[in-house]
Amino acid sequence: MQHPLHQFLYCPKCGSNRFVEHNVKSKKCLDCGFVYYFNPSAAVVAVIENEKGEMLVAIRAKDPAKGTLDLPGGFVDMYETAEEAVAREVLEETSLKVVSTEYLFSIPNLYVYSGFEVQTVDLFFRCKINDFNNLNAKDDVAQLQFVARKNLHPADFGLVSIRKGIEKLL
């Protein structure tokens, strides 16, 4: 298994190319002594159900896993809580307004973006929506649909953490 910082070749503080493995989750610069610890990025996932108990499922418009099933969500921005992030992501991807959230569970993930490996911890939230009239696929979502739980198949979801999340939810 490669070191999680194998793609980091230069010290982010001084630019030295003598940036070497320090331990399993950090690298150290042999010139300035800076130690960089690699921690996961926070991401959020929205579990949204309609009044029939069907789950809102997205089809990914972009890579990674373009064309596969997904749940609305994305990365937590700086200075933002996870609850704020999931509400923002739902609005950006579906035009729906989240009225309340409930934390469910988390799953670690490796998300490859533009050829770069991002370690994440995906935080799953049940999101309550009062009005589904504005439902509209936007941002990095190609299509949205409600699916009965009995018709959800984890293998149809392209991202490993979402697949594992669906398994947990079922």
Instruction: Give the confidence band of 113 by pLDDT, cuts at 50, 70, 90.
Output: confident
Summary mean pLDDT of the chain:
95
In tens, the pLDDT along 140-163 reads 999 999 999 999 999 999 999 999
Instruction: Give the confidence band of 2 by pLDDT, cuts at 50, 70, 90.
Output: confident
Domain positions in the chain are 1-38, 41-169
In tens, the pLDDT along 7-60 reads 899 999 999 999 999 999 999 999 999 999 989 999 999 999 999 999 999 999
What pLDDT score was predicted for residue 111? 86
What pLDDT score was predicted for residue 116? 82
CATH topology for the 41-169 domain: Nucleoside Triphosphate Pyrophosphohydrolase (3.90.79)
For residue 146, what are the CA distances in angstroms to 23, 57, 151, 152?
45, 6, 10, 10
Q: pTM, whole model, 2 decimals?
A: 0.91
